[in-house]
Amino acid sequence: MKRRILDARNAGFNMLRIWGGGLYESEHFYELCDVHGILVWQDFPYACAYYPDAGEYAEAARAEATAAVRRIRNHPSLALWCGNNENQVMYEGPWGGERPGRFLGENFYFDILPAVVAAEDPKTPYWPSSPYGGTPDSNSADYGDCHNWDVWHGRGDWKFYTENDSRFCSEFGFAASCGLRAWDAVLEPEDRHPLSPAVRWHDKTRKGYDTYLGYIGLHFPDPQTLEELVYFSQLNQAEALKFGVEHYRRRKGRCWGTLFWQLNDCWPVQSWAVIDSLGDPRAAYYACKKFYAPVLVSLVQKEQSAEVHLVSDLRDALAGTLTLTLQTFDGETLAEGTHAVRVGPNGAEVVASFDLAAARGRERDVFLYARFAPEGEASAPAENFLFLAEPKDWRASDPGLKVTLTEDDGGFRLTLFARRFAPYVWLRRSDNAPLFPTTDSGDNFFHLRPGETREFIVPQTEDTPTLEALRGQLIVRTL
């Protein structure tokens, strides 16, 4: 439990939503959220269904809610009580057939539960449902919170996230495979390929496996091996969540928050989680650490130019230097520029525009790199990349990656140097365990620019007690 809360904190989360299809968590959970600064959105346990809401059922619901509110109410992490998950929008739909004569459960969400919260915990806000906005369309982008499943359950290409203009997107997600170590625990040797029945059945998305593979193929190569399924699907999920969250964060002032589905899993599966059932972070987890950082630089292609946004969650205005470099995968600089930029307190601004004309005809082997360096120590530097072609179409060549391992106090120093662009560097051990045992430090699935060097301290563990042991286990892959 503590590890998951720390994982959430390390990824830049400041809120976790306890979904209505789940439960009231243990005291330990709320205490950990109190200590580590994680707000809790607590659904009452009603989700995606109709409930009898009169007579003995109503009294049972009142008694259960009263006990739960009294137990949880004094935790400073508790930020919101929510009546249910998607029951209101389900009735409005309706979902899956005929709508009942009345909204079964309405008495819970609009009478019993708000009365219990008002009596037992008046300091904490109550919200009738999620999504909800008090209008005939409970999933309206203009009022309250919104669930955006039009991409995953509809259009498939995560670039359609930009069509959602919600005020607070409290649920959306994109699926990927669990890690190789989780597959190791459940697959026989003959099942270790993307199209095996066992892999197909370990699929929480219920989307249809061919559709799932099709989503990957929009942006990345078609996976031919289990390792490629893990790698490409996780990269696709990472880019999807990055694209969506950056879209919402750029619209600060209109949109004030995102909660994506979901943090973690409880079984080895292809799902929307960013941490699998063994606690191994997926590629999207490492992307979270960047797109949920307090300061974000975000790049948007506008035909033959790039729009540069600076987003800050800091209480004070932020100023610094923005450096933009248009570069080929081989390291040739085509254009560059430097700007003094500023964003207001807790703000988001378009701070620069960059002409991409020099990339015309070379879209498949160029990238735009942005780096924001703040004045003083207001925040850590922020960086981002913009690519002009899909990864599956890149003209990427051997990056000339040099990997060096040396001993360091309490562990080992890993140094990576790339002569050419090294996309999506994946670090792991040969037993498929994460190279970094916790999420407090380290990085993964990152880009190395031509001529760039990065260093990491890899902790010494029982499985890698010596330098030679780590050298024998380290696996480094790029796209």
Q: How far is CA 324 from the centre of its chain?
A: 26
From 25, 27, 86, 228, the catalytic residue = 86
Is 86 labeled as catalytic in the residue annotation? yes
C-alpha pair distances (Å), 419 with each of 282, 395, 405, 444: 27, 15, 18, 19
Segment (H or E) for 475 = strand 474-477
Identify whether the C-beta of residue 309 lies closer than 8 Å to the C-beta of residue 351: yes
**DSSP string computed for 227-238:** HHHHHHHHHHHH
List b or e across 50-81, with b for residues whose CB sees 16 or more CB atoms inside 10 angstroms: bbebeeeebeebbeebbebbeebeebebbbbb
Question: Which ranges constitute the DSSP H helices of 335-440?
Answer: none
Burial class for 32, CB neighbours closer than 10 Å (0-12, 13-18, 19+)? buried
Contacts of 145 (CB under 8 A, 6+ apart): 127, 130, 131, 132, 133, 166, 167, 168, 169, 170
Cα–Cα distance for residue pair 72/94, rounded to 1 Å: 33
CB-neighbour burial class of residue 156 (10 A; exposed 0-12, middle 13-18, buried 19+): middle
Q: For residue 177, which of 283, 95, 33 has the smallest C-alpha distance?
A: 283
Structure tokens at 80: 């919101």
Q: What is the DSSP pairing of strand 39-43 with strand 78-82? A: parallel
Which tokens is 37 given? Answer: 């600064």
Q: Largest Cα–Cα distance of the chain, in whole Å?
A: 74
Please give the Cα distance from 316 to 321 (Å, whole number). 17
Beta bridge partners of 371: 323, 383
Structure tokens at 283: 């590629």
The gap between the terminal CA atoms of the chain, to the nearest Å, is 34
What are the residues whose beta carbons fall under 8 Å from the beta carbon of 479, sequence distance 6 or more?
Answer: 220, 235, 391, 394, 396, 423, 424
Distance between CA atoms of residues 102 and 433, nearest Å: 52
Helix axis angle, 2-10 to 27-36, nearest 10°: 30
Task: Indicate which residues carry an active-site annotation.
Answer: 86
